[in-house]
Amino acid sequence: MEIQFYNSLSRSKEIFVPIDPLNVGMYVCGPTVYDFAHIGNARAMVVFDVLYRVLKYKYPKVTYVRNITDIDDKIYTASVERKCDFSQIAQQFDTEFQNDMASLNVLPPTHQPHATDFIPHMLEMIGTLVQKGFAYESHGHVLFSVDTFPSYGQLSKKNREELIDGARVEVAPYKKSPGDFVLWKPSTAEMPGWASPWGRGRPGWHIECSAMSRHYLGDRFDIHAGGIDLIFPHHENERAQSCSAVGVPETVNFWMHNGHLIVEGKKMSKSLGNFFTVRELLQKHNHEAIRLALLSTHYKQPLDWTANSLEMSKQILNKWYRTIEKFQNHVFFADNGVLRAFVEENKAKIERIGDDFFAAMYDDMNTPVAIQAFTKMIKDLENTGNEDILAAILVCKDIIGSLTQTAISWFQHSSVDVISAEEIEKKIAARGQARETQNFQLADQIRDELLAQGVQIEDSTSGTAWHRI
């Protein structure tokens, strides 16, 4: 089954053919660490975490690089406001970011470089651009000349005038052209800075990612991803400087971008009181519900974050856990090695069972359709108890990044009065015994106790079944 991804550069879905099928390379723009991550930041991290998981399932090796921008004027401004060193701010919110992402079950990347560790690589790339005539020095700044890159604007699909008009472009007297962007800028004595051939200063934002991606992934790699707000100017400028430094038309095969996140139909804003950090949400909601809600809309589309979307995700997870709970004594749960061996021996069969799930994931990571397919697999497992279906579910749930805890833990942390499956079965057995001795008062009492603890029982000719409500 072929994988297709939407390529922002071509504005079309294309079949994904990795440069090296034995080692896929992907780079995702990480956070600028000056404050807590908000739910919009989390959407990009969760979406591309699923991309990482899909690729890891399909290919033998994936080299995933996600950077940390720990030198930026926003960090410096925050340090001035708090009267501390900029590195303290960066370290604090780097740690907070890692904690938040771990809570959302976002896998750590293969490499997570910090910009401040790559200043020599940036200086080398800037020097190459100056030497080749793509960049110039002016008043202590080094700037990339967009006139030297004919396909500038191709990624954002706007002409030069549109890009400059109303966009995040600084018009300054030291620029030859208004669209030229900074590679290196001077620092005052109070600001963080490093020695360079052009004087003490600090890097521009865009050169950081070009230097780090090239170091880990080479002159050309498979996927560069991030939020749609990064297409211009960040990714447009990255593309221009990287291609010019390396001397090739393209350094990235696929550019992928997730859509904006809005809240109850409005742009998320602190002034509107609808700004949510990941930390705040985790204090009120189970991490799995947050993660699933972030995947409930196709990654390219805008995601409207609502209380209803979180509630719907909780209800879906309730159904999944009710079924999975009945199988948690299976050897697949007790010994992951047994599961891996079973999957390896029955991979074709498992992929047939999960055909709709994989088809959705391989079709530009269509997570809403994949979630529907997964729910159908859960229902089939409940109806049949088939071991092959259970194995397929355990494979697919790892790609979604869901069902990471025991059922009892899920229900406990979802504010449901919790009782273990073993206790439920004991109570049902006691109720059955009471009914056999015609002690219907006790039988009804046990039924009502179970109902109060969120468990509904159903009697039939084949026995008594139960499920959580």
Residue 167 in this model has a pLDDT that exceeds 60 = no
| Contact by Cβ (8 Å): 256, 51 | yes
Over range 129-155, report the average pLDDT. 96
Q: Dump pLDDT digits (tens) for 351-395.
A: 999 999 999 999 999 999 999 999 999 999 999 999 999 999 999
Over range 328-350, report the average pLDDT. 90
| Contact by Cβ (8 Å): 226, 28 | yes
Over range 133-153, report the average pLDDT. 96
Residue 449 in this model has a pLDDT that exceeds 80 = no
327: CB partners within 8 A, 6+ apart? 333, 381, 385, 390
User: CA separation (Å) from 468 to 289, 317, 401?
Assistant: 17, 12, 23
Residue 425 in this model has a pLDDT that exceeds 90 = no
Helix (H, G, I), strand (E, B) or coil at 5: strand
pLDDT of residue 103: 97
pLDDT of residue 333: 87
Which of 344, 364, 291, 265 shows the shortest CA–CA distance to 2?
A: 364
More confident residue, 443 or 2: 2
Share of the chain above pLDDT 90, in %: 76
Over range 228-251, report the average pLDDT. 97
Over range 170-183, report the average pLDDT. 87
pLDDT of residue 423: 82
Q: Dump pLDDT digits (tens) for 193-227.
A: 999 999 999 999 999 999 999 999 999 999 999 99
pLDDT of residue 1: 85
Q: By mean pLDDT, which of 207-211, 281-285, 374-378, 436-440 is the weakest?
A: 436-440
Residue 418 in this model has a pLDDT that exceeds 60 = no
pLDDT of residue 161: 67
pLDDT of residue 158: 78
pLDDT of residue 46: 98
Residue with tokens 């749960």: 333
Residue 410 in this model has a pLDDT that exceeds 60 = yes
Helix (H, G, I), strand (E, B) or coil at 366: coil
Residue 169 in this model has a pLDDT that exceeds 70 = no
Residue 453, burial from CB neighbour count under 10 angstroms (0-12, 13-18, 19+): middle
Cα(370)–Cα(376) distance, integer angstroms: 10
More confident residue, 424 or 201: 201
Cα(167)–Cα(403) distance, integer angstroms: 42
pLDDT interval class at 164 (50, 70, 90): low
pLDDT of residue 469: 63
Three-state SS letters, 34-102: CCCCEHHHHHHHHHHHHHHHHHHHHCCCEEEEECEECCCHHHHHHHHHHCCCHHHHHHHHHHHHHHHHH
Q: By mean pLDDT, which of 31-35, 250-254, 457-461 is the weakest?
A: 457-461
pLDDT of residue 273: 81
Residue 416 in this model has a pLDDT that exceeds 60 = no
DSSP state of 229: G
Backbone CA torsion sign across 373, 417, 104, 279: positive
Mean of per-residue pLDDT scores for the chain: 92
133: CB partners within 8 A, 6+ apart? 148
pLDDT of residue 422: 79
